Structure 1
């Protein structure tokens, strides 16, 4: 079995974090999110992997290279223009041969058992098998209607509540036989959801739906990105934490200096070369990147820090995401999904909350914002 991972999107909902780095390269528990996907495929013996990228695609190639260090064979294909979900797979059709291929959206965190998915695909003698999942609000996703034999009957893309007739959404993980790509036009922007799948239904090609009840999360928005970190830290999805467990639920990297007078509650991950000063407090569900400094009496709750973040004295950081090289002066408060892009500098006694997004390299002078 081969794999194609689709990572061509621009990650607009996660801006400003994605202005200089593609969404699947954002850190997830201190390693690039995309590495989780590669490790999942490797776990189930899928080693020939094609990465279809576009936006900032060179980041993947520069970091992962040929994938050998992870035990996989990674082929990079960078689209010259956006080709859509199906168009991206059509673009690499010659690399697939006639092998059953798993296709994954690059912003999905899941613990799906690919062996079970493949067995189901074979049992149903399907040309395409879609992984299906249930979510609380399905209106942001494509819905899939099945018959009693798990055969797909209908697709409904991002319906209103009045149009909802099923609870199954398209989870963005597919198995397909490459022969179905004959129905897809070459070199065009063409989607699975609105293009190939409806075409296959019209042609009466067998499409099956695999109901999945394990872990699944779309990380494409700040709230979901933060929630995915919580789920990893709380053990809802299997994950090998980086670093050494220095106390129950607290994992720290190399060369960390944590004051005896500081308090750290698990589950928490702390990267390499971090310093936590006297009387600072780090509460549960926090991920701290490499080379970060938390000054005395600062309090950190339920937040994500990228690398090289500096937090001043008496700061209070709650439910926030701070990009690379963010520097906060003393007595800064952030709360309620505040998102700060790379290299943001915030002066003393500013209060950033209510989902505020601060663009990369912005400078906020002392006592300017109470949002």
Structure 2
């Protein structure tokens, strides 16, 4: 049996206003909560028991996923009363594990979409005899991430978290947010207090002489922390750029959920998903966007690379590009929302009121 801990407790502050009422892992991507894609990929890799480490809006997870039997696995829910960081969350969830001391335990961040071969990562961890194995990926600009240089055998040499000076950028390899721990290593993490695995646990293990093994993988990888990245990940799932067993329909240029209504002359593409009961008006164009349940895009509107919250409305002739419209918000006709604009939940924007606003 392979077990996993899935870290699903973050507030998703960078995704607001979408996460004001929905925890980040439960925001729909390609028609289902993003967490559903992660769980389905874990199950496909042979994981049979997942401990969900929750905190923010924790009450919404179990009513949706239940005991996990519909997914072919068992789910256990562990809720933090206060945020304890990545290490603290992993340590708190470990009490629900059943693995033996030397068994591998997958640990997955709740905001990463990847095409990584999870089963292969576990096999490599066992072959290496490592205390922890880390999935690493390469990025063009690593300054916003944790840098993890390795030697020729894959042994991790050190950690540099979000380097500030040019001389600190010694590699383009970054921590990609997926680990395999030997179970007994998790048990050494201090319990009941905030702990960062990146800043405390991993450097401490290195200092003690433990083997930390890095696996550099160039398959699909995306951090969904920002709206543009979340929308792009959803589009990539719809188009099949990255595969997910949880996709609720065939891959293609768009995905329609039950009850979605598309009027004559409307054009959908770029991996757009239209949620249940949503409506796209005549002549509207929606490209590479997430339109959540019950949202409405009126006649002649243009929506590109954006997220429209549940029950929101975009008026006739309005253009929305690279923006987020919160749940229940109403954007009147003939407005223009450009890159970075965020319309807060239940906000009301009159007709022809704005050309661009970053915070409405």
Number of the residue aligned with 1:264: none
Number of the residue aligned with 1:333: 319
**Is 1:234 the equivalent of 2:239?**
yes
Distance 2:154 2:316 in 1: 58
Worse-superposed segment, 228-237 or 207-216? 228-237
Number of the residue aligned with 1:88: 89
- The structural deviation recorded for 1:301 is 2.0
Describe how 1:177-188 pairs up with structure 2 within 5 A.
177-188=182-193
Q: Which SS does the other structure have where 1:149 is aligned?
A: coil
Choose which of 240, 243, 266 in structure 2 pairs with 1:280: 266
Worse-superposed segment, 216-225 or 176-185? 176-185
Number of the residue aligned with 1:362: 347
Describe how 1:67-146 pairs up with structure 2 within 5 A.
67-96=68-97, 97-98=99-100, 99-146=103-150
Describe how 1:133-212 pairs up with structure 2 within 5 A.
133-160=137-164, 162=166, 163-212=168-217
Number of the residue aligned with 2:310: 324
Q: Which SS does the other structure have where 1:47 is aligned?
A: strand
- The structural deviation recorded for 1:298 is 1.6
Distance 1:90 1:278 in 2: 54
Q: Does the Cα contact within 8 Å between 1:183 and 1:196 map onto a contact in 2? A: no
Number of the residue aligned with 2:287: 301
- CA distances 1:331-357 after superposition (whole Å, capped 9, x unpaired): 22212x111000001222111112110
- The structural deviation recorded for 1:180 is 1.6
Runs of 5+ unmatched residues, structure 1: 251-266
Distance 2:94 2:308 in 1: 39
- The structural deviation recorded for 1:74 is 0.1
Q: Does the Cα contact within 8 Å between 2:281 and 2:297 map onto a contact in 1? A: yes
Q: Does the Cα contact within 8 Å between 2:239 and 2:270 map onto a contact in 1? A: no
Distance 2:118 2:264 in 1: 47
Distance 1:281 1:181 in 2: 50
Give the alignment's TM-score, normalised by structure 2.
0.93
Number of the residue aligned with 1:65: 66
How many pairs align?
350
- CA distances 1:163-215 after superposition (whole Å, capped 9, x unpaired): 21011101110001121234321100001101111110111011111111212
Worse-superposed segment, 59-68 or 311-320? 311-320
- CA distances 1:205-250 after superposition (whole Å, capped 9, x unpaired): 111111112121111111111221232233221135424x6xxx65
Number of the residue aligned with 1:263: none
Q: Does the Cα contact within 8 Å between 1:139 and 1:161 map onto a contact in 2? A: no
**Is 1:271 the equivalent of 2:257?**
yes
Distance 2:33 2:186 in 1: 31
- The structural deviation recorded for 1:40 is 1.0
Distance 1:94 1:270 in 2: 41
Distance 2:332 2:239 in 1: 34
Distance 1:182 1:329 in 2: 54
Distance 2:73 2:188 in 1: 30
Tell me: CA distance 1:25–1:367, structure 2 relative to 1, closer, same or farther (3 Å): same
Distance 2:289 2:165 in 1: 32
Describe how 1:12-27 pairs up with structure 2 within 5 A.
12-27=13-28
